[in-house]
Structures are given as structure tokens and as C-alpha cells.
Amino acid sequence: MSEAFSGPLERLDHSRWRIPRSYKPGMRVDGIIYADDQLIEQIRSDKAPEQVANVACLPGIVGASLAMPDIHWGYGFCIGGVAATDPDAGGVISPGGVGYDINCGVRLIRTDLSRADVQPRITAIVDQLFQTIPCGVGRGGRVKFGQADLRRLLAEGSRFVVHKGFGWESDLEVTEAGGCLEHANPDFVSPRALERGTDQCGTLGSGNHFVEVQVVDEIADPQAAAAFGLQLGQITLMIHSGSRGLGYQVCDDALKDLRNVPARYGIELPDRQLACAPVKSPEGQHYLGGMQAAANFAWANRQIMTHLAREVFSGIFRRPPELLGMRLVYDVAHNIAKLEPYEVGGRRRTLCVHRKGATRAFPAGHPEVPAAYRHVGQPVLVPGDMGRCSWVLVGQPAAMEHTFGTCCHGAGRVMSRTAAIAAAKGRSIEKELLSQGIVVRAPNAKGLAEEQPAAYKDVSLVAEAVHASGISRKVARLRPLGVIKG
């Protein structure tokens, strides 16, 4: 990874550390990092805190430049970074605050199956998932859309593919934003991006994307777990993917288009990777409309993969997915910028909230929490590495007070991909995981080496840090039984 951070990190309490705005010229607000004593030592060894300070220089930023415990170095913003800007005060939108994989996100499907039902068939399940859901760099799938349908998909998101037969109406009720950002503008998506998206909806992609068969092995909050339909010994399925080549191209196009825009608006930046435009400017609106269209593509992508996974389970267990109880618990984005209302300085303001490697965490009673969960709060899905576990959390009121309704999104890398490959030399990650009872399939050994468990922080430490901070509460732990990786 990059060299260590040499700036100040002042302890605020047991779970928060401050980079004071006096640290560097141009900082408009403090930087605040959520971490415990153990995690902060890992965080100090990386230059990601410098990016937290850089983000604090953005025009119109409100409150603080924030980072979650899974923070690590990224493009422009750190991964795990959160920033809210006020469009009415010249606040900007920055593609670096969203990332290349727009609306990379996670969805969790519960089942009525037990570990005893699945364990004898786990190899067959993983093999069939691997054959059915396309994985790997640039890989297309069996579902293809013509230009007219693709443009409708970009405008309508998950709803469009559900109405095409890829899923259930009930899926939309438990997808963030109903699986559609309504102001998406397909006209702001380039022909090259459209071309890349033609056959990639319903595909996993590469890198850290996965489909994972899991078992619930700990319940920390029985009330929330019951609301989410989770219980001990139950099998769940987690899907992690995003907007594929289409989203990457939307980001790439925007970074080129915005290269000289900050100077045009008199904006000085400490890092050109923070290229941005005022939200209300024509350039800002163009990126926002294209980004929202790519976000809709990502929701449709995960929705089609949900349908494919249900088909796999239905074929193996010879029962329709409805009778297997394969209900979507929730789908949440973790690379996105959204316009949301917050109380700031005693008045209601609509802010542009950038969440890059960070996920929404709304509490009980919030109008955007699905009706079935409104009495407990929004599910927060926090995947870990393929050798340890993942966590389901639930949003808490403190998130609205301190983090613009935001929580962590995963474990966070501690080892670069290059370092991970070097560390795996002479080893078989697949065999190591199999010795733990975890069946893994991937297009090649290199991908498994990059994604080996040692490349990540322990997600349980990350979950405990946000639990202790009060922004989310632990609900259930999920252990992997089988994984397909991109």
C-alpha cells in the first residue's frame, strides 16, 4: 500500500479520530475517521487519511469529511469516504467521491433452507452458480438488451427487468430507492458506455465481486433479525456487484469532461483526482444524470443475478424459489452520490451526499426505510472476506446526527493486489479455503490470490467499531459455505 500518514490524528472519543482543519491550507472542515484502537494503527499506515483531508477542501462541504473504519486508499476520495455538500452554497459533485464502479452494492437473499439441507449439495450449488452467472473481466452474459431497451433500463432500473420477468415485485420494495433514481438521464450516457452495457447486465464482473452461499451463525439483535427474516442455522445468499463496464465508462468520461471545470469556476483543489463541478452547474447536472443512469443499471444487474441464482437453487432442490423462501432482504448501494434532506444548523437542507465504499444506514422511522422494517431500521449489509464472515447491521439515529445516515460497506483492504499475489506464491487459496469447509470457484487462481482473506481487515472488527460508535447495531453474522468470485 502507499506510505504512512504523517499528519495529526486527534482522539475525540472511543471510536472517532479528528484531522483538524488547521492541518493543511484549504481545509474548510475537519476530517473525522471512525475506528477503534486496533483499526487506527492500520489506518495510520496508509495515506488514505490524507485523502480525507483533501476532501475537506471541497467547496460547499458540510459538517466534516468523514471516513468509515474500512477506509483505504482510493481514487480522489478514500474508499470508505463520505462527504455531504450543499448545492445552494456552491456545493460540488465529484466522480472521485462515487468511484469507477458506480452503485457497486450488495444484496442479501434469505431462504427457508438450513445448513443440513445445503451442506451435502454445496459443491453442486457453487458449480452451478459459477456456470450460470457469468464471471470475469469484460465477460458478457446471456441477457442482452437492444439500444431502446437499454435506454429504458437506464431510466427505470430494477423495475424494468422485473417487468421483463427477472424477479418479483416484492424485490423492489426492499431495494434502496426502489432500484431506481428517477432523474437518471440516458442521454448523458456516452455511446461507448451504452455499447459496453449491451450484454453485461446480469454478470458478476471481476475483482472483489462475488456471489456467496452463507449460513447465519450468530444473532446479535433478535428483534431486528426477526424483522429481516433471519434465524440461526439458516442459509442466505449474498450478491456483490455493480455497473460493470457501463459504469466504469460513465466515470471515465466524466473525469475527462471535468478535468478543466474546477478552474472555470474558480475552484482550487489539492488533488486533481478530486475533479468536480458545482451540483447546480450544467456540468454537474450532466454527471449527476449519467451517474444515476449507471446506478439504475447496477440495480438491474443485481436483480437479474438474483433471478439466475433463484433458478439455480430451484433446479437443485426441485422446488420453485417461492417455496424455498428465497426472499430479498435488502439491496444497498455503496458507491453513489444522492440528494437527501438533512437538518444542518437548525434548518432543513438538501445535500449531495457522496458515499464511496460506504453504505446508507437509516434508522427506525425514516420514511425511506421499507415499511416492513420501519419499526427497527434499515438493514446494513457489510460483506467480509471469503474466509471469515459478513455482518448484517441495522441503522441507528446517531447515523443521522453524525454521518449523514451512513455506515461502513465492508472489511477494507490491508494488502494491495500486487502484494496479495506475491503472498500467495506457491500456495493454493482454493485448497486452503476448502480445508476450512468453504468451496470456491473463480475464473483463475490470480483472482483468488488477490482476494485471499489476508488481503482484508477482519470485518468483525469493522462491524464492532461502528456498533460501538452507535451509528449502526449488529444484527446477525453470516459464515461462508461457498463462493463464486469474479
- Residue at 361 is within a domain: yes
Cβ-in-10-Å burial (0-12, 13-18, 19+) of 433 comes to: buried
Instruction: Name the grid cell of 357.
Output: 465504499
* pLDDT category of residue 345 using cuts at 50, 70 and 90: confident
Query: Is the predicted pLDDT of residue 34 greater than 80, yes or no?
Result: yes
Q: Which pLDDT tens digit goes with each residue over 160-198?
A: 999 999 999 999 999 999 999 999 999 999 999 999 999
> pLDDT tens digit string along 388-417?
999 999 999 999 999 999 999 999 898 989
Give percent of the chain with pLDDT exceeding 70: 100
Alpha-carbon span 89 to 333, nearest angstrom: 26
Within-domain flag for 416: yes
- Cell numbers for 191, please give them: 455511446
Determine the residue type at 70: D
Q: Residue 356 pLDDT > 90, yes or no? A: yes
User: Quick check: 250 and 243 in contact, CB under 8 A?
Assistant: yes
Return the C-alpha cell found at 368. 425511506
Q: Kindly state whether residue 2 falls inside one of the protein's structural domains.
A: no
By the 8 A CB rule, do 478 and 389 touch? yes
DSSP 27: -
For residue 303, is it within any domain?
yes
Number of C-alpha atoms within 13 angstroms, CB side, residue 417? 8
User: Directed axis angle between helix 282-317 and helix 147-156, to 10°?
Assistant: 100
Any domain includes 83: yes
**Whole-number pLDDT of residue 2:** 56
Region 53-78: what's the mean pLDDT? Answer: 97
Instruction: State residue 364's pLDDT score.
Output: 98
Per-residue pLDDT band for 140 (boundaries 50, 70, 90) equals confident
Which three three-digit cell numbers place residue 166?
427477472
The DSSP element (H or E) to which 288 belongs, if any, is: helix 282-317
Q: pTM of the full predicted structure?
A: 0.96
Residue 139 pLDDT grade (very low, low, confident, very high; cuts 50, 70, 90) = confident
- CA dihedral 297→300→306→307, nearest 10 degrees, is -130
Q: What is the greatest pairwise CA distance in the chain?
A: 64
d(CA 101, CA 417): 17
In this structure, is residue 115 part of a structural domain? yes
The answer on pLDDT for 1 being more than 50 is no
In this prediction, residue 137 has a pLDDT band, given cuts at 50, 70 and 90, of: confident
Q: What is the mean pLDDT of residues 242-256?
A: 97
pLDDT, mean of residues 321-337: 98
CA 145 → CA 141, 151, 371, 461, distances in Å? 11, 9, 33, 42
Question: What CATH number should be reported for the domain holding residue 406?
Answer: 3.90.1860.10
- Cα four-point dihedral sign 41, 44, 46, 49: positive
Query: What average pLDDT does this structure show over 462-475?
Result: 97
Residue 402 is among the residues annotated as catalytic for this protein: no
Pick the more confident residue, 46 or 318: 318
49 is a domain residue: yes
Report the interhelical angle of 37-44 vs 48-55 (nearest 10°): 90
Q: Could you tell me if residue 298 is inside a domain?
A: yes
Q: Total structural domains in the chain?
A: 1
Phi-psi map region of 63: left, alpha, beta (phi>0 left; psi -120 to 50 alpha): left
Average pLDDT over residues 354-363: 98
Alpha helices in 323-436 (DSSP H): 397-402, 417-423, 429-435
In whole angstroms, give the CA distance from residue 379 to residue 392: 7
Q: Is 278 helix (H, G, I), strand (E, B) or coil?
A: strand
pLDDT tens, 86-122?
999 999 999 999 999 999 999 999 999 999 999 999 9
The parent domain of residue 151 ranges over 10-485
What average pLDDT does the chain have? Answer: 96
Catalytic pick among 240, 334, 402, 409? 409
Confidence of residue 142 (pLDDT cuts 50, 70, 90): confident
